[in-house]
Amino acid sequence: MGNTLTEKILADHCIDGQVIPGNIIQAGIDLVMCHEVTTPPAIKMLEEHGLKTIFDPDRVVVTPDHFVPNKDIKSAELARTIRNWVADNKLEHYYELGRHGICHALLPEQGHIVPGQTVVGGDSHTCTYGAFGTFSTGIGSTDLAAVLYTGELWFRVPETIKVTLAGRLPAGVYSKDVVLELIHRIGVDGARYQALEYHGPALQDMSMEARMTITNMAIEAGAKCAVMAADDITLEYLEGRARQTDWTVHLPDDDATYADELTIDVSRLEPVVALPGLPSNGRTVSSLTDEERVKVDQVYIASCTNGRIEDLRIAAAILKDRKVADGTRTIIIPSTTTTWKRALDEGLFDIFYEAGCVISTPTCGACLGGHMGVLAAGEVCVSTTNRNFTGRMGDPDSKVYLASPATAAATAVNGTITDPRDYL
């Protein structure tokens, strides 16, 4: 009996136990991601127990990203806590403001992620890194403290759902539409504590940035992780970027056992929006009635899901030589400082400025209702982020629609939810 991709990676790192779905194992961890929200409680736990060392300082990557630049005194204290901790432990992989970024965009961009790793982080969207053929998953502050000290962590081996992406993406349809369609089909708990393993020819037409959008939102389907086998596209992305030269490319066995299998023919997809309340409330934009194409107060193109340079280029192609609609403020936040500079150099900022957009430094910001775009009661936002739960981006009476950068940009121009194909 063969093994899935997740099972192979875990078996390669297993310290104790048998890698069989449902079993509890102890695994070694290759990389730990830390940011300023969940790391301070972990630091406090370590200090309270007199645990002063880190298992391997070279395997820890730290960046402030959620409330930066600091929005208030509390967030300033959180940032200072990790800054002092980094200095005390002589951690080299620390990305201070000015070269920082949203963690899940920053780590791949800076070459910390390579195939075959086990990666954990104090953030649910750590599942993003599975696009590189890694086992990566989010953990809480208590487990974060444990892994920082020991370099190990326990897991229940997840069952795997095989997802085949057939066909080729039509014009105006993007990987964000694909993952919204998947979550619509299986629901927000459809892959609860399972691994989503992606296959199919459609992946060959997707860049690593597009693939990361899909793995990023595994948690919105309840999944433990998402994985894609590393291929030539992965290796091309890593060339000249990866910080290590040795890694293992695992492939799932042909006779692997899956808990379930499903196929999405992406050639039949249209632009999708997830209506307020749940990421699973997916509807094609073309199916919305005139009443459902509501007036939009804010468009937010940003986040670890869709704030990369490819996303900004897609948005700029629609916004070029156009203006955002009156009453529809449009916020553009590049995901990392490097992406910010590339967007500037490519002239994308000129396009956004001329269109009437606001451009900010990298931050998670309004995605979690933090700052830089929090919504008031009754306001409507079309966002390229990953969650639209009630109150996620501000007042509980506000409404958030999830969409691709193309749909968001088209909406910004029209002022109501709009099919991006109207502007292509």
Q: Are 126 and 32 in contact (CB under 8 A)?
A: no
d(CA 348, CA 149): 43
Q: Are 205 and 169 in contact (CB under 8 A)?
A: yes
User: Model confidence at 339, in pLDDT bands (50, 70, 90)?
Assistant: very high
Q: Are 191 and 290 in contact (CB under 8 A)?
A: no
Give tens-digit pLDDT for 282-308: 999 999 999 999 999 999 999 999 999
Say what percent of the chain tops pLDDT 90.
99
pTM: 0.98
**Is residue 181's pLDDT more than 90?**
yes
Angle, vertex CA 311, rays to CA 122 and CA 169, nearest 5: 105
**Is residue 133's pLDDT more than 90?**
yes
Residue owning tokens 């630049």? 69
d(CA 328, CA 324): 7
**Is residue 17's pLDDT more than 90?**
yes
Say what percent of the chain tops pLDDT 70.
100
Span 405-422, mean pLDDT?
98
Whether omega before 158 lies within 30 degrees of 0, making that bond cis, reads no
Q: Are 23 and 156 in contact (CB under 8 A)?
A: yes
**Is residue 397's pLDDT more than 90?**
yes
User: Model confidence at 329, in pLDDT bands (50, 70, 90)?
Assistant: very high
Give tens-digit pLDDT for 18-35: 999 999 999 999 999 999
Give tens-digit pLDDT for 241-264: 999 999 999 999 999 999 999 999
Residues in a beta bridge with 153: 27
DSSP run (H or E) holding 107:
helix 103-109
DSSP run (H or E) holding 105:
helix 103-109
SS3 content of the chain, % helix, strand, coil (to 5): 35, 20, 45
Q: Mean pLDDT score of the chain, rounded to an integer?
A: 98
**Is residue 206's pLDDT more than 90?**
yes
Q: Give the tokens for residue 4.
A: 């899935």
What integer pLDDT is reported at residue 265 of this predicted model?
Answer: 98
What integer pLDDT is reported at residue 327 of this predicted model?
Answer: 97
**Is residue 1's pLDDT more than 90?**
no
Sheet order of strands, 298-301 included: 282-284, 272-274, 399-402, 380-383, 298-301, 329-332, 358-359
Question: What are the chain's domains?
Answer: 5-264 (3.30.499.10), 275-423 (3.30.499.10)
